[in-house]
Each structure stands twice: as C-alpha cells, then as structure tokens.
Structure 1
Amino acid sequence: MSEGCVRTELKLTAQPSAAMGSAQEPEDLDSQAEMVADTVLEVGERLFQVSRRALSLHSRYFEAMFFGGTRESSEHHIVIRGIDAAPFQALLEFTHTAQVLIGQENVTSLLETADFFQFDKVKLLCEKFLERELHVSNCLGLMAYSQHFAFIELHASAMNVALTHWGDVMSQEEFKALPKETLMQFLKSDDLFVPREDVVFDSIMMWIMEDPETRERDFLDLVAEVRVAFLSLSFLDILVKRSKRPGQADTFSRLIRRLDSCPPPSWQNVTLCPYTSRSYDTLYVLGGKRDKEQQELFLFQPKTGTWQACSPLQRRNLTQYAVAAVGNLQSCNSSDASNWD
C-alpha cells in the first residue's frame, strides 16, 4: 500500500443476505464445524481440521472439490500447494465467525487467497477495505488491481480519484507506465478535473516523453482528445512558436510540427470538439462585519464540494459584498452588510 496512507487494520463482518440463507449465521456455522470436522487440509506445511460442509457454504472452490465428484471428494487428507497458511487460516476462521481482520499488511495475500478459493464474501470485504485506503498516490495501481479481480466499485472509485486529481496523478511513476487505452479513457472523460485544458496537453507530452521511440506514433490519437477550444491563448502561442523554429530536432518540437502539418479533425473543426470545459469552476465569496479592516475570502470548488480559506482582503467592507464565479466578478449592493458574516 502507499506510504502516504495511514496504517489501518479493521475487523470486518459479512452481513447475512437472503441468498446466503440461515445456514450462514455464525452460530450455525460454528456448531456445524465442531460437529462435522471430517477432513484434513494441508496448506503451507500446516494441517487444518475442516468441515467440508462449512467450507462449501462459503466457497465454490471447495463445493466443487468436495461435492463435485472429483478425486478429492473421497479423500480425507488433501494437500493444497502454493498457498500460504496465514491467509487460509483467516478464511477458515471466517467460516466460523463471519468476521475477518484486514490490514495493510495482509490485504493483498488475503484477497489473492480468497480469489483462489472463491470466497466471494471475503473478496467483497477486501474491496471495501481497499476503497477506504484510496489515495492519489495509489489510485492508478488500485485501478489496475481492481480490473484483475473484477471489482467494479473499487475501479470506479479509483478512477474518480485520478480524474479529480489529475495534476497530482500525472506526476506519479505509475502514470508514466499507463497503457495507451487507459490514458485514452481518462482523456475522453468529461469528469477530468484540471485547472486549464493546457494541463491535459502537458500530460500527454509527459507520457510520450517517457518512451518516445514507441509512443510517438500515438501522439495524434491522444492529442485529438484535447479540447482545443479551451486551450489558453498563451499556451497556443507557445505551440505555434515551437512549430516555427527552424532546426529544432528534439522530440517535443518534432511532434508539434507534426501536429501543425496534420492536425486531428477536432483541431481543424472546433464543432467536432466537445462543448464542455473541464477546467475548474470556482466561486469566490468575500464578506465580513461592517467596518472591519480586512474581509474574509473563501474559495468554493463545486466539482469537489470543497471550501478553502484564502488570504483576507485588506480593505473595509462598507456597503457591498461581492461574488466572483469562474473569473467573472459581480458586485451586489447589500442594505445590511453588517449582518452578513
């Protein structure tokens, strides 16, 4: 797990569902396991006395092994290779208590073991734990991890963290190793959250420059997802000047010249470009009691629903308050500004 995350250990309980039936109640399983422990499983050089029935109620793997007509269905000592004893013991205890202790130290081994033995409830609890641990520093890794285990909710949550913290995510080492298809998925999204569309272009260049020999051919496909209508004029001016410099042989200049000579359709016809800006929508609110020497100033970002305190405005508020939305300042008269704090 990421070093930036707080170390966490949680005891999680599986909630009974209609599909599980009353046989899944912890008390019933405990009594069953004690009465009908009928098989020895050798896992990681340890021996475990187990109940076939209790294991089969939780695991499709053991249901097929014990009641599917396999060779093991008639054996009473079964060796399972390639599995560590500790996570298997945690799964075995889960069949008695419907609880499992999950922490950063064991979540990976527990999840992989639960996946191998098809303990679906434990897999779900591991997924919930990983959702709690989501952070900018690990969201790309957890996206890939969630795809391997078909964790739809974890994948969506991890992707949302990446989309809403793109400026931080693009500086991560895992960003440089993203497959083109995953990067394209981000670039196409309306939910990509950036201060300026310029950042989207920069992220493409950063990804290509990590391995220019193999990634240059993807440049025009990727840059077609940049919403050119929302690039800043100063940024476009830089691109134009780079494209006109004679004798520049570096990768960046070469790609800009290629863009200039063969722009994607969305760069040639802005009507083909999405109309939605992905840059920050911001709301500035200032106010305070009448005749104060400075006024409080706050920044609100509607996309994330967060408020941020800014440096106070060094002037008195006599008769007015003001709101600035996305850079457009509006001033409104207030008949009683002293009551608005």
Structure 2
Amino acid sequence: MRYQTFTLGLLLLTMYACGKKEEKKAKMTNTDTMSCESSLPSRFSATNNTNSISESKTVSYEGMVQIPSGEFLMGASDDEGRQDEYPQHRVKINAFWMDATEVTNAQFEKFVKATGYVTTAEIKPDWEEIKKQLPPGTPKPDESLLVAASLVFTPTATAVDLNDASQWWRWTEGANWKHPQGPKSDIKGKENYPVVHISWDDANAYSKWAGKRLPTEAEWEYASRGGLIDKKYFWGNEDPEKGKPKANIWQGKFPYLNMAKDKFAGASPVKSFVPNRYGLYDMAGNVWEWCSDWYTPDYYKDLSRSIATNPKGPSKSYDPMEPTVPKKVVRGGSFLCNASYCKGYRVTARMKSSPDTGLGHTGFRCVADIK
C-alpha cells in the first residue's frame, strides 16, 4: 500500500482553481497562482490499493447520457481564466456515455457492500510507511494526526484572511463518506446526495467496479459545455447569481455568511437544478469532480500545436507549487465557490489535487466508451 503525506509547512494540499479575485491573464505568472486551500491544518493520508477491485466486463447505461462526437474550443478565451486555462485550443472528441449526475451516496454504498471496499478517509495512516517518502530526520507527527480522518469545512464567525484556508477546514477524525461532517453525522435521508470525502483512488475503484472510467479533462469540459460555443458557464454568460439559481454555489460572503438563496448551504441532492443541454446535472457547483488526467500547468500549450483528438492528459504530473506531489485534475466547482473568492464553476476552471485526497466537497461521476 502506497502512502503520501500532506503536512503544514511541508506538503500543502493545493487546489488552486479557487483563490482571491481573478487575475488578468496578462498579469499572471506561475507564482501568481494562488491556492484556495494553502495553509491547511496538518493532515496525513493513506492510499488504497485499487488493484483489489476487479474491472467489470459489463456496463449498465441506466442513468447515463450519450454525449455526441464533436469538435470544440477548449480553455478560456476571456480575461477570467487562470494561466493554465490558456491557450484555447481545438479538440476533437469521440462520442461517449456520461453519468447524468454525480455518483450518489446510494450508488457508492451499493459498491461498498458488493466489494467490501474501504475508502482512503477510513484508513489509519502507517507512520513507518509515511516516513519512507519524507526527508530523513522528519519528526513523527503527533498521534492525533495519525488517525482515520478527512477535512471538513467549518464556516468562520467573521471575515478572515482568504489566503489561510486552515481557518475554515478542520482535520476531523471519523469524517468520511458515511459521516461527512464527522462521526456524529450520517447520510440517512441523503441517499440522493453526491458522495463526498472521495479520493481519486476511491473514485477510480468505483469506476472499475461499474465497468466505467473517470472522464478525461477534455471529455468533461466538452460535455459540460453542452454544445454551447465559447460561453463562460454551461448555461451561457449570465452571472450565476442573477435570476433563478442555476447551480449550488456560495451566495454571500465567504467563508462566514452564506445567504443560501439557492436553498442549500451545503451539498444538494442531485438533479436539484436545471441540467445543461446534454441533460447533465451539476456540471457547475455542488461538488468538485475528479478527472482521469494528471495535472501540469502548461499542458494546453502542447495541445495547441495541432488539433488534439481525445487527449488523455500528460504522461505524468508536475505542479510547480508542490513539485514532489503528483496531482490529478478536478473540475466543476462546488457549493463553496463564490465570485469574490472562487469561480470554479466556470466551464474552463481547472483544479488539481493529490490522488489520495478527499474533502467534504469532492465527488465524481463516470463515463463509458460506446462499444
């Protein structure tokens, strides 16, 4: 079993699609890329061995939508995109199937019951394995950190420094997909909510069991656009807080005042908002969604040299903010995204996170090839 650690001042969990106010593209450099979750509480995480999950040879297309083949412009064309959303480039995508909704608690529970799978957040880290990946002499952390746990969002009482995410994230023992707010919480009555506290490894394991896979980043953006050309959001260019609520996002002053005009202060049941033109729900807001791609900040530059056909991402990850930590791409934004702090619900917005990381606003959906 492979282990990775993320500890304050050593390896920061970074999800940079969120941040302070959007920078103008012309002014941005690699060092301008802010992390919306830097300065997190110290955390240690264990990684599951998903090789124990057998890949299903059959696929149920129930609850899936067939996405037509096509060609589109991927990436940002306006001045709101971050540096790694440029240059905009042309991509061809084959037709494929995609889950109409994020994977729900009920669906994930069925998987767990069938396989006995234990998620990353439910495994106590092993210090003897962890320290093999750390510099010699790294002191052993307090035993209170070496527990099965995950990061839980806790709103602050007042305005705080938005560069210090440790003020609203809490390393919470006993938090996992069955207990999203900690051991005293549960998912009773929330069978139709998206499953959260899911690492990439967990999402990949579920996908294999279902005979599906995680979407490539290109497939995700193509499907999210729903056939619209060069629009900021999956519904067009209208601000999400104008008119009828279009997605589950943070409405108010992050991270201490959520007006919940969309009627949800946290995650919402799937299908609570109007789908995009392909019939896909929650392609903006609610919970972040894992993609299959490794992350690099300049991958789009490589793709822009010619028309890319079904790109699957770089062969390996590199994040200049954390060069030693491999990252996977996450898309779509969450219920914590707010225009003053995070516009991760933009259709081109990219986020990155280590494969063994799960949080209270991260889930996934699957895709399947047309055979």
How high is the TM-score relative to the length of structure 1?
0.17
Higher relative contact order (CA 8 A, sep 6+): 2
How high is the TM-score relative to the length of structure 2?
0.16
Look at both structures and tell me which one has the larger radius of gyration over its CA atoms: 1
Answer 1 or 2: which has greater helix percent. 1
